Protein backbone atom coordinates (compact mmCIF):
# COMPACT_ATOMS: atom_id res chain seq x y z
CA UNK A 1 0.00 0.00 0.00
CA UNK A 2 1.32 3.43 -0.83
CA UNK A 3 0.97 6.26 1.63
CA UNK A 4 0.39 9.92 0.95
CA UNK A 5 3.57 11.93 1.15
CA UNK A 6 2.12 15.46 1.05
CA UNK A 7 -1.06 17.44 1.53
CA UNK A 8 -0.89 18.43 -2.15
CA UNK A 9 -1.01 14.74 -3.07
CA UNK A 10 -4.14 14.28 -0.96
CA UNK A 11 -5.71 17.38 -2.55
CA UNK A 12 -5.02 16.00 -6.05
CA UNK A 13 -6.54 12.65 -5.11
CA UNK A 14 -9.66 14.32 -3.67
CA UNK A 15 -10.09 16.43 -6.81
CA UNK A 16 -10.16 13.23 -8.89
CA UNK A 17 -12.90 11.51 -6.90
CA UNK A 18 -16.06 10.71 -8.84
CA UNK A 19 -19.23 12.62 -7.94
CA UNK A 20 -21.64 10.97 -5.52
CA UNK A 21 -24.77 9.17 -6.68
CA UNK A 22 -27.71 10.91 -5.02
CA UNK A 23 -30.16 8.06 -5.72
CA UNK A 24 -27.94 5.61 -3.84
CA UNK A 25 -27.55 8.08 -0.98
CA UNK A 26 -31.33 8.44 -0.73
CA UNK A 27 -31.78 4.64 -0.56
CA UNK A 28 -29.17 4.32 2.20
CA UNK A 29 -30.69 7.20 4.18
CA UNK A 30 -34.13 5.58 3.88
CA UNK A 31 -32.72 2.26 5.07
CA UNK A 32 -31.02 3.93 8.03
CA UNK A 33 -34.36 5.39 9.10
CA UNK A 34 -35.76 1.82 9.29
CA UNK A 35 -33.00 0.42 11.53
CA UNK A 36 -33.75 -0.44 15.15
CA UNK A 37 -31.87 2.47 16.72
CA UNK A 38 -32.69 6.03 17.65
CA UNK A 39 -32.43 8.30 14.57
CA UNK A 40 -29.06 10.03 14.50
CA UNK A 41 -27.67 7.96 17.39
CA UNK A 42 -24.51 7.15 15.45
CA UNK A 43 -23.82 10.83 14.79
CA UNK A 44 -21.45 11.66 11.94
CA UNK A 45 -20.93 7.97 11.22
CA UNK A 46 -24.39 7.90 9.63
CA UNK A 47 -23.52 10.87 7.39
CA UNK A 48 -20.23 9.25 6.42
CA UNK A 49 -21.98 5.97 5.52
CA UNK A 50 -24.48 7.82 3.32
CA UNK A 51 -21.70 9.80 1.61
CA UNK A 52 -19.58 6.67 1.06
CA UNK A 53 -22.56 4.78 -0.37
CA UNK A 54 -23.14 7.55 -2.90
CA UNK A 55 -19.46 7.85 -3.72
CA UNK A 56 -18.98 4.09 -4.12
CA UNK A 57 -22.36 3.78 -5.88
CA UNK A 58 -23.43 0.88 -3.68
CA UNK A 59 -25.93 0.53 -0.87
CA UNK A 60 -23.36 -1.37 1.19
CA UNK A 61 -20.20 0.74 1.17
CA UNK A 62 -16.95 -0.78 2.37
CA UNK A 63 -13.43 0.36 3.16
CA UNK A 64 -10.74 -1.74 1.55
CA UNK A 65 -7.10 -1.09 2.30
CA UNK A 66 -7.99 1.70 4.73
CA UNK A 67 -5.53 3.77 6.69
CA UNK A 68 -5.96 5.51 10.02
CA UNK A 69 -3.71 8.51 10.65
CA UNK A 70 -3.09 9.75 14.18
CA UNK A 71 -1.47 13.16 14.66
CA UNK A 72 -0.13 13.83 18.14
CA UNK A 73 1.41 17.02 19.45
CA UNK A 74 1.69 19.32 22.39
CA UNK A 75 0.36 22.82 22.24
CA UNK A 76 -0.85 25.58 24.50
CA UNK A 77 -4.18 23.97 25.24
CA UNK A 78 -2.37 21.54 27.58
CA UNK A 79 -1.20 24.53 29.61
CA UNK A 80 -4.87 25.51 30.00
CA UNK A 81 -5.63 22.27 31.90
CA UNK A 82 -8.01 21.06 29.18
CA UNK A 83 -6.45 17.60 29.34
CA UNK A 84 -6.19 15.65 32.60
CA UNK A 85 -2.67 14.60 31.56
CA UNK A 86 0.56 16.63 31.37
CA UNK A 87 2.29 17.21 28.05
CA UNK A 88 4.91 14.55 28.84
CA UNK A 89 2.24 11.85 28.53
CA UNK A 90 1.68 12.59 24.84
CA UNK A 91 4.97 10.98 23.78
CA UNK A 92 4.20 7.95 25.96
CA UNK A 93 0.80 7.59 24.31
CA UNK A 94 2.36 7.76 20.83
CA UNK A 95 4.95 5.15 21.83
CA UNK A 96 2.17 2.93 23.18
CA UNK A 97 0.32 3.19 19.86
CA UNK A 98 3.51 2.45 17.91
CA UNK A 99 4.04 -0.71 19.99
CA UNK A 100 0.45 -1.86 19.44
CA UNK A 101 -0.81 -1.32 22.99
CA UNK A 102 -3.45 1.39 22.66
CA UNK A 103 -7.17 1.31 21.99
CA UNK A 104 -6.70 2.74 18.50
CA UNK A 105 -4.51 -0.26 17.64
CA UNK A 106 -7.31 -2.63 18.57
CA UNK A 107 -9.93 -0.64 16.64
CA UNK A 108 -7.69 -0.56 13.56
CA UNK A 109 -7.01 -4.29 13.86
CA UNK A 110 -10.73 -5.12 13.98
CA UNK A 111 -11.47 -2.74 11.08
CA UNK A 112 -8.43 -4.02 9.14
CA UNK A 113 -6.94 -0.54 8.86
CA UNK A 114 -3.26 0.34 8.65
CA UNK A 115 -2.28 2.69 11.46
CA UNK A 116 0.30 5.44 11.13
CA UNK A 117 1.04 7.92 13.89
CA UNK A 118 2.83 11.21 13.40
CA UNK A 119 4.55 13.22 16.11
CA UNK A 120 4.47 17.00 16.14
CA UNK A 121 6.41 19.12 18.65
CA UNK A 122 6.40 16.51 21.40
CA UNK A 123 9.61 17.80 22.93
CA UNK A 124 8.54 21.44 22.93
CA UNK A 125 7.11 22.64 26.20
CA UNK A 126 3.58 23.89 25.57
CA UNK A 127 2.96 27.56 26.15
CA UNK A 128 -0.15 29.62 26.35
CA UNK A 129 -0.76 31.60 23.17
CA UNK A 130 -1.34 35.34 23.56
CA UNK A 131 -4.96 34.88 22.48
CA UNK A 132 -5.55 32.08 24.99
CA UNK A 133 -3.87 34.20 27.68
CA UNK A 134 -6.23 37.07 26.88
CA UNK A 135 -9.25 34.72 26.96
CA UNK A 136 -8.10 33.45 30.34
CA UNK A 137 -7.85 37.00 31.63
CA UNK A 138 -11.34 37.70 30.30
CA UNK A 139 -12.60 34.43 31.85
CA UNK A 140 -13.54 32.87 28.50
CA UNK A 141 -11.23 29.97 29.18
CA UNK A 142 -11.21 27.71 32.26
CA UNK A 143 -8.44 28.36 34.73
Chain mean position to CA 137: 32
Residue 56's domain comprises: 1-62
pTM for this structure?
0.54
Do 50 and 74 belong to one domain? Answer: no
Name the β-bridge partners of 116.
69
Do 53 and 70 belong to one domain? Answer: no
Structural contact between residues 70 and 113, judged by C-beta atoms closer than 8 angstroms: no
CATH number at residue 52: 1.10.1610.10
Domain end residue (candidates: 27, 62, 97)? 62
Write down the mean pLDDT value for the chain: 82
Structural contact between residues 103 and 90, judged by C-beta atoms closer than 8 angstroms: no
**How do residues 64-113 score in pLDDT, each as one tens digit?**
889 998 888 776 666 667 777 787 888 888 889 889 999 999 999 999 99
Do 136 and 69 belong to one domain? Answer: yes
Q: pLDDT at position 141, please?
A: 42
DSSP string, 78-140: HHTT-SSS-THHHHHHHHHHHTT-SHHHHHHHHHT-EEEEEEESSSSPP---HHHHHHHHTT-
Percent of the chain with pLDDT over 70: 78
Q: pLDDT at position 92, please?
A: 87
Amino acid sequence: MSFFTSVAEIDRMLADLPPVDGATQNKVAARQSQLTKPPGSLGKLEDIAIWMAGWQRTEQPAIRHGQCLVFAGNHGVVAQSVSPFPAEVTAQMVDNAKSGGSAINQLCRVAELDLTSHRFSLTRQPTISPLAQRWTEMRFWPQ
